[in-house]
Amino acid sequence: MYRRRQRPAKRQKTIIDNVHDQEDDTTAVGVVQFAYEGKPKKTIPAGISHVTTSEAVEKIITECFRNCQTLRHLSIGRSVRAIDMGAFKGCANLTKVEFQEGLRCIRGQAFRKCTSLLEVDLPKTVTSIGMDAFEGCFSLKSARCHEQGSLDTIGDCAFMNCSSLADVTLPQKMDYIGAEVFKNCTSLTAVAVPKYDYIRPGTFRGCTSLFGVEIQQIDELRIEGSIFKGCTNLINVWVPNWKQGWDSFVGCEKMLINGKNRNERYENLVRRIRDRYTYLPVHKVCYYSSRATVEELMEVLGTDENASNAEYLQDCFGLTPFHVIATAANPRIDLFQCLVDHYPIEVLERKDTHGQMMMQYLLKHTSSHAMPFVKMVLQKLVMDKLNMRHLGQSKEAELLRRFESIQSDDDFETKCQRFDSFKKYARYCVMIEATSLIELALWKIQMSLMRKEDLETDYTIRKDCRCQCGADVVIGNVFGYLCKSRSDLFSHGNDERYSITAVC
Question: What's 73's domain CATH number?
Answer: 3.80.10.10
Tell me how far apart the alpha carbons of residues 316 and 306 are, in angstroms, rounded to a whole number: 15
CA-CA distance, 165 to 178, in Å (whole number)? 18
Does residue 100 sit in the same domain as residue 159?
A: yes
Residue 143 sits in the same domain as residue 292? no
By three-state DSSP, how is residue 498 classified? Answer: helix
Range 395-416 average pLDDT = 82
Instruction: Say whether both 374 and 386 belong to one domain.
Output: no
Residue of higher predicted confidence among 495 and 298? 298
So what's the pLDDT on residue 499?
A: 54
Select, from the ranges 280-294, 365-379, 452-466, the one with the highest average predicted confidence (pLDDT). Answer: 280-294
Across 47-51, 189-193, 269-273, 302-306, which has the greatest mean pLDDT? 189-193
How many Cβ atoms sit within 10 Å of the Cβ of residue 182? 25
In terms of domains, do 286 and 311 share one?
yes
Residue 80 region, left (φ>0) first, then alpha (ψ -120 to 50), else beta?
beta
Q: Residue 133: inside a domain, yes or no?
A: yes
Instruction: Tell me the mean pLDDT in the region 211-218.
Output: 87
Give the per-residue pLDDT at 151: 92
pLDDT at 82: 93
Same-domain pairing of 331 and 395: no
Contacts of 477 (CB under 8 A, 6+ apart): none
Q: Are residues 374 and 389 in the same domain?
A: no
Average pLDDT over residues 351-366: 88
Q: How confident is the model at residue 14 (pLDDT cuts 50, 70, 90)?
A: very low
Q: Percentage of residues in the chain with pLDDT exceeding 70?
A: 79
Mean per-residue pLDDT of the chain: 79
Using alpha carbons, select from 85, 124, 78 the residue that is nearest to residue 106.
Answer: 85
Tell me what the mean pLDDT of segment 414-437 comes to. 80
Q: How many CB atoms lie within 10 A of CB 94?
A: 25
Query: What average pLDDT does this structure show over 444-469?
Result: 75
pLDDT of 426 over the 90 cut: no
Domain contains 166: yes
**452 backbone dihedrals φ, ψ, rounded to 5°:** -60, -35
Q: Residue 327: which domain range?
A: 281-378
**Of 172, 179, 88, nearest to 133 (Cα)?**
88
| Sequence-ordered list of residues with C-beta below 8 angstroms from that of 197, at least 6 positions apart, any chain | 218, 220, 221, 222
- Same structural domain, 21 and 127: yes
Q: Report how far residue 94's alpha carbon sits from residue 70's, in angstroms, rounded to the nearest whole number.
A: 8
Question: What is the DSSP pairing of strand 82-83 with strand 105-106?
Answer: parallel
- pLDDT confidence of 213, banded at 50, 70, 90? very high
Same-domain check for residues 396 and 358: no
> Once rounded to an integer, what is the mean pLDDT over residues 305-332?
85
Q: Quote the pLDDT of residue 127.
A: 94
Q: Are residues 392 and 372 in the same domain?
A: no
Last residue of a domain, one of 135, 162, 187: 187
Based on the fold, state whether residues 158 and 109 are members of the same structural domain. yes
- Per-residue confidence band for 22, with pLDDT thresholds at 50, 70 and 90: very low
- Residue 64 is assigned to a structural domain of this protein: yes
In a domain, 485, yes or no: yes
3-state secondary structure string across 54-119: CCCCCEECCCCCCCCCCCCEEECCCCCCEECCCCCCCCCCCCEEECCCCCCEECCCCCCCCCCCCE
Residue finishing a domain among 187, 208, 242: 187
Band (pLDDT 50/70/90 cuts) for residue 109 is very high
pLDDT of 325: 94
Q: Judge if 30 and 126 occupy the same domain.
A: yes
Assign residue 373 the CATH number of its domain.
1.25.40
Q: Is 450 in the same domain as 486?
A: yes
Q: Which residue has the higher pLDDT, 59 or 483?
A: 59
In a domain, 358, yes or no: yes
pLDDT of residue 15: 46
- Mean pLDDT calculated for residue range 41-53: 70
| Amino acid letter, residue 326 | A
407 domain residue, yes or no = yes
> What pLDDT does 272 receive?
83
- When divided into structural domains, the chain yields a total of 3
Question: Of 335, 359, 378, which residue is a domain's last?
Answer: 378
Judge whether residue 276 has pLDDT over 90. Answer: no
In the prediction, which pLDDT does 166 show? 92
C-alpha torsion sign, points 242, 246, 252, 258: positive
Q: How far is 288 from 254, CA to CA, in rounded Å?
A: 21
Query: Would 211 be classed as within a structural domain?
Result: no
Quick one: the chain helix, strand, coil %, rounded to 5?
A: 35, 15, 50
**Least reliable range by pLDDT among 14-23, 121-130, 436-445:** 14-23
Instruction: Return the number of other C-beta atoms located less than 10 Å from residue 364's C-beta.
Output: 20
- Confirm whether 447 is domain-assigned: yes
